[in-house]
Amino acid sequence: MTTTLASGTARRAPACAARTGDDALVAAIAGLGAARSRRRSGRIGARPARVVALVPAHNEQASIGIALDSLVGQTRRPDLVVAIPDNCTDDTAAVVTARGDTLVRASVGNTDKKAGALNQTLEVLLPLLRDDDAVLVMDADSALDPGFVAGALARLGTEKDGKTIGGVGGTFRGGPGGGFVGMLQRNEYARYARDVNRLKGKVLVLTGTAAIFQVRVLRAVVAARRSGALPGGVPAVYDTHVLTEDNELTLALLHLGYAILSPKDCVLETEIMTTWRDLWKQRVRWKRGALENLVDYGFTRVTARYWGRQVFTHLGVLVTGAYLVSLIWSLLLAGTIHLHPVWMSVTLIYMAERVVSVRARGRLQMLFAAPLIVEMAFDFFLQAAQIKAFWDTVTHKERNW
């Protein structure tokens, strides 16, 4: 979320330029260790894991307070919250500093967007933590439901299908606003959450809106990048050369033999795009980023299903094209729409799925989803973004965030 200065308003010095420095972060982690030791005095047992929440933010003065409030409101609150203002031209840092409950560590000279800002802080943070500690990374335009951290910690480090769960993400619902385009996104996110819940938390990607990782897992990623076992070229948690750092980190964890999960009690609300233009840019970036991540990793046992999903997605584009051609052909020849029984069956199944899959959003949304033209038009839009992302990838068009 970006706040634009009104025309004619004098531009002040970037508030995000102020930073606490690494010493403050070192002291904060040391303080956590001392506090935990006092609480455990006289008790026997393993030391409880500490949770450090990182909130990168670029011009998020209007929303970061809500994000931080959601961390304070957790049933299992993080032990430390670190806001990371990155190249801000607004008062993001000042808003956070005024709260008094969050450490501010701004990025310095970062040219690598969110991934670069996170890497700068993680480079200092990881050596200070224990292997069984956890790092939560969340966007400044999102808000966690109260049970998110507790639900994630209950799964983190446990076994799933013979593999250790190294990362836990969430399912998300769309925030308010955006009118018609906002409503379509909220319905889309509701369908995604429904699918994830039906699959008992099985997901392809740990969402960048909010995810939590064991420290030992993040250290393993850094070591693998250093050795060349993972792409990136630089020994850091996040690959700064990609468009979708969350998707790439997911692939990194899976290639290192870890499992991922998005359980139903890890839920959050995230900002939606309020214009068609912004939504188009977001989806082209997401889809192109996913394609380029696969190219970087190549065809492996892990990426095989991701490549398969890409193939089926593009086949879906072709099927949609054939569907449209059949409608146009019918209109041109007969002056009316006459669907072949096969296409009629496809249409009825599509309409039923659109209605049932938004049941959680209420009867009004189910009614809205029933007309074919509304939902199908949105699908055409998303498929057009898929085509654009594919074309930009094969032509190596200059990337834009």
135-194 confidence digits (pLDDT tens): 999 999 999 999 999 999 999 999 998 999 999 999 999 999 999 999 999 999 998 999
Angstrom distance (rounded) from CA 98 to CA 291: 42
DSSP category for residue 5: P
pLDDT, mean over the chain:
85
Query: 326 pLDDT exceeds 90?
Result: no
In a domain, 345, yes or no: yes
Predicted confidence (pLDDT) at residue 396 exceeds the cutoff of 90: no
**309 in the same domain as 231:** no
| pLDDT above 90 for 7 | no
312 shares its domain with 267: no
Please name which of 138, 133, 157 lies closest in space to residue 56, comparing C-alpha atoms: 138
Residues 309 and 256 in one domain: no
The tally of domains found in the chain comes to 2
DSSP 3-state of 26: helix
pLDDT at 244: 94
Considering the domain boundaries, does residue 261 fall inside one?
yes
Q: Give me the pLDDT at residue 1, please.
A: 36
- Is the model's pLDDT at 15 over the cut of 60? no
Cβ-based burial of 381 (10 A; exposed 0-12, middle 13-18, buried ≥19): middle
Of 258, 274, 290, at which residue does a domain stop? 274
* Same structural domain, 194 and 238: yes
Residue 38 has pLDDT above 70, yes or no: no
| Same domain membership, residue 157 and residue 69 | yes
Q: What is the DSSP string of 261-294?
A: E--TT-EEEE----SHHHHHHHHHHHHHHHHHHH
Q: Please check whether residue 349 lies inside any domain of the structure.
A: yes
Which residue, of 232, 256, 274, is where some domain finishes? 274
* pLDDT, average across residues 57-64: 94
**Contact by Cβ (8 Å): 46, 66:** no
Determine the pLDDT at residue 355. Answer: 80
Encode pLDDT of 39-49 as tens digits: 544 444 456 78
Q: With respect to residue 279, please indicate whether it lies within any of the assigned structural domains.
A: no
pLDDT tops 50 at residue 6: no
pLDDT at 400 over 50: yes
* Residue at 222 is within a domain: yes
Q: Is residue 244 located within the same domain as residue 321? A: no
Report whether pLDDT(114) > 70. yes
Structural domain for 71, as ranges = 15-39+46-274
Whether 335 is covered by a domain: the verdict is yes
Question: The pTM is what?
Answer: 0.84
List the beta strands (DSSP E) in 14-162.
51-57, 80-85, 103-104, 134-138, 142-144, 159-160
Instruction: State yes or no: pLDDT of 19 exceeds 60.
Output: no
Parallel/antiparallel/unpaired status of strands 171-174 and 267-270: parallel
Among 293-297, 309-313, 378-382, the minimum mean pLDDT is found in 309-313
| Least confident span in 19-33, 227-241, 277-291, 297-311 | 19-33
**Residue 59: φ, ψ to 5°:** 55, 60
pLDDT (0 to 100) of residue 353: 76
Residue 2 lies inside a defined structural domain of this protein: no
My answer on whether 86 and 167 are in the same domain is yes
Beta bridge partners of 143: 269
